[in-house]
Amino acid sequence: MKHSLLTPSEVAKLFKVDPKTVTRWSNNGKITCIRTAGGHRRYRLEEVQKLLNGSQSVAI
């Protein structure tokens, strides 16, 4: 099954935060990132939607 992946900037726009905040969340284990072959971070759309809906907590 193919997952839709978002960039840190796309996730940041959804939460109205800076992309560096999304990176901090990932470093702190609040959201899981996937690394591309080039080392870039990507986030699963399904997990981001759960965070937006309040299913998981995000420390801001």
CATH class of segment(s) 3-51: mainly alpha
Domain boundaries, the chain: 3-51
Going by their DSSP bridges, the two strands 41-44 and 5-6 should be labelled as: antiparallel
Structure tokens at 48: 């981001």
pLDDT of residue 16: 94
pLDDT of residue 54: 84
pLDDT per residue rounded down to tens, the chain (60 residues): 457 999 999 999 999 999 999 999 999 999 999 999 999 999 999 999 999 998 555 554
pLDDT of residue 60: 47
- Do 15 and 50 touch, CB atoms closer than 8 A? no
Which phi and psi (to 5°) does residue 16 adopt? Answer: 60, 50
pLDDT of residue 1: 45
Continuous H helices in 1-60: 8-15, 19-27, 45-52
Which phi and psi (to 5°) does residue 14 adopt? Answer: -65, -35
